[in-house]
Amino acid sequence: MATLKMIVGLGNPGPQYVANRHNIGFQCVDLFARRHQIELGKLQLQARIGEGWVTRGGERQKVLLVKPLTYMNASGQAVGPLARYYRVDLADIIVVHDDIDLASGKLRLRTGGGSGGQNGVKSLIQHLGSPEFARIRIGIGRPPGWMDPAAYVLQNFSADEEAVFGPLRLRVCDALTCWLFDGMAAAMNLYNRAADNSRDPVVEASANPAADLA
């Protein structure tokens, strides 16, 4: 039996949040689903999910895509029960989320560690019973001046930001595929480069990133 791997995107449900900075995890999972023709059409255990296969060359991997519908701060209430229901090991879970303390447009992959103040990740740690799951942190930067961080993350990306984050979402999808087939160490080696990490030699990208998000 093929091992099932779980890809979780964090965000808030509802049309008013779709294009928010805080919803970059949802946006990446939606794009990954479209790329691999996986329908996110099932509602189960407070989440929207899609189960399918990802192929690369002659290889294929079974995946479960998850978008919690609990709102960000309670994400673990959906992910914990789903992981137990589908018997997914911690080592086979990866979470995509925004990070306000990481420079805008940067990616960092890691396994384990604290929540870094990200309440969705904090909830996952609580409900999974361990921090030892893989994460893709997507930097959205700090708010300008004295702006409230809570208000900042709930704003939509600006046009200038979208010019960066359109290609970055595609890169996240490439990183997820790398994780699925090559493991976290290989994905970290490719996608944690200190230099500009907006490009990668292995690209499955659409020619029109904006269309992929629509």
Over residues 130-187, the pLDDT tens digits come to: 999 999 999 999 998 889 999 999 999 999 999 999 999 999 999 999 999 999 999 9
User: How far apart (Å, rounded) are the C-alpha atoms in residues 58 and 105?
Assistant: 32
User: In this predicted structure, what is the pLDDT of residue 1?
Assistant: 60
Residue with the larger pLDDT of the pair 69 and 195: 69
Task: Quickly count: other Cβ atoms within 10 Å of residue 77's Cβ.
Answer: 19
Please, are residues 170 and 31 in contact by the beta-carbon 8 Å criterion?
yes
pLDDT tens per residue, range 72-100: 999 999 999 999 999 999 999 999 999 99
Question: What domains does the chain contain, in order, with CATH numbers?
Answer: 4-213 (3.40.50.1470)
Confidence band of 199 (pLDDT split at 50, 70, 90): very low
CA triplet 199, 205, 208: central angle to 5 degrees?
Answer: 105
pLDDT exceeds cutoff 80 at 188: yes
pLDDT exceeds cutoff 80 at 203: no
pLDDT exceeds cutoff 50 at 71: yes
Average pLDDT of span 15-37: 97
Instruction: Please state, in angstroms and as integers, the Cα–Cα distance from residue 10 to each residue in 93, 103, 122, 203, following that order.
Output: 13, 19, 12, 24
pLDDT exceeds cutoff 80 at 112: yes
The percentage of the chain sitting over the pLDDT mark of 70, rounded to a whole number, equals 90
User: How far apart (Å, rounded) are the C-alpha atoms in residues 19 and 58?
Assistant: 35
Backbone angles phi, psi at 14, to 5 degrees: 115, 140
User: In this predicted structure, what is the pLDDT of residue 202?
Assistant: 39
pLDDT exceeds cutoff 70 at 21: yes
Report the side by side order of strands in the sheet with 93-99: 42-44, 47-56, 59-68, 4-9, 93-99, 134-139, 107-111
> Structure pTM?
0.89
> Is 97 part of the annotated catalytic residue set?
no
User: In this predicted structure, what is the pLDDT of residue 20?
Assistant: 97
In three-state secondary structure terms, 188 is helix
Alpha helices, H only, 86-134: 119-128
Between strands 47-56 and 93-99, the pairing is unpaired
Catalytic-role residue among 22, 36, 97, 127: 22
